[in-house]
Amino acid sequence: MKTGIQYNINITKNEIKAADLDILGAEYGELFFAGGAKVVRINYTMLEQAVLDGALDDLSISGTEILVAETIGFKTKEEIEKLTSLLVKCLPGFKSAGLSVCIENGYVTDGTKIYEGPLGSGVSLSAYIDRLNEKAGEEFFKAAFNIGCARALRLQIIEHVKALGNKISVLYVSDNDGKADLRQMPYTFTSVHSINSAGWEDLMDHFSTYAQEIFIIGDVRGTFAVSPKELKGTFLSLIGEILGEWKSSNDYEQIELPVNA
């Protein structure tokens, strides 16, 4: 398990380093500022353009290991089929650039409310990835599960994480009020009755025994957008400690085989 933070213009590289996080995640459109990001999120339009520009190799050269296809706003079969065609067509390019590719759960919004789209649930995302891999002829595509997107849809998050099984390679961590995708700090939407908004304990328990390499990334853009600049380092340290706790509870990397195995 490796921990990371989604790049934000409001935080500095020194602050990121001080927060004891392993990697940097970034939006594709911010790569100019977030050089060296290992996990890069890209929407359909930008992916199409990146392929046309022959930019996949550049990503790999600059250190990117995983490309995450964002699906927020996808609502029709046609849109999904276009994504499928593009991903399958680009498979050789992904491979030659040494990139892994994950598909992220999303939602549909009319600007005021959030609705579950065809790739909103863990079940539907899992089925989609199966279909993609069938077309690819191999188990190439994986999942990036966004806890904040699932929380905004008021899903029972742990059930959707379990539905994805070992497909999850990237976990984006944020919290919200169950109405809007606020990208805020985990644990802070806990109610006065100590009900964990996103079911953080169940999620931590689940990933403590998760036997796959996984990048767990704090995607708390909302916190950095609304907090004063004097506190950004403090909040970054907090997300670093929260994710560090997830990492230390995961025993996947500590497994040592017996000498005679």
Rounded to an integer, what distance in angstroms lies between the CA atom of residue 221 and that of residue 245? 20
**Residue 72 or 99 having the CB closest to other proteins:** 72
* 3-state SS class at 2: strand
Yes or no: say if 202 and 162 are a contact pair by the CB < 8 Å rule. no
Q: Please tell me whether residue 234 binds other proteins under the rule CB under 8 A.
A: yes
Kindly state whether residue 190 participates in binding other proteins, applying the rule CB under 8 A. Answer: yes
What is the C-alpha end-to-end distance of the chain, expressed in Å? 24
Size of the site for other proteins (CB under 8 A): 37
Residue of 2, 10, 46, 93 interacting with other proteins (CB under 8 A)? 10
Q: Which is nearer to other proteins, 142 or 221 (CB)?
A: 221
Q: Which is nearer to other proteins, 213 or 245 (CB)?
A: 245
3-state helix, strand, coil in the chain (%, to 5): 45, 15, 40
Q: Tell me how far apart the alpha carbons of residues 145 and 214 are, in angstroms, rounded to a whole number.
A: 11
Give the CA radius of gyration of the chain: 18
Contact of 103 with 129, CB cutoff 8 Å: yes
Is position 205 an interface residue for other proteins (rule: CB under 8 A)?
no
Minimum separation from the CB atom of position 174 to other proteins (A): 9
Question: Between 127 and 204, whose beta carbon lies closer to other proteins?
Answer: 204
Residues forming contacts to other proteins in the complex (CB under 8 A) are 9-10, 176-177, 180-185, 187-192, 194, 196, 201, 204, 221-223, 225-231, 234-235, 237-238, 241-242, 245
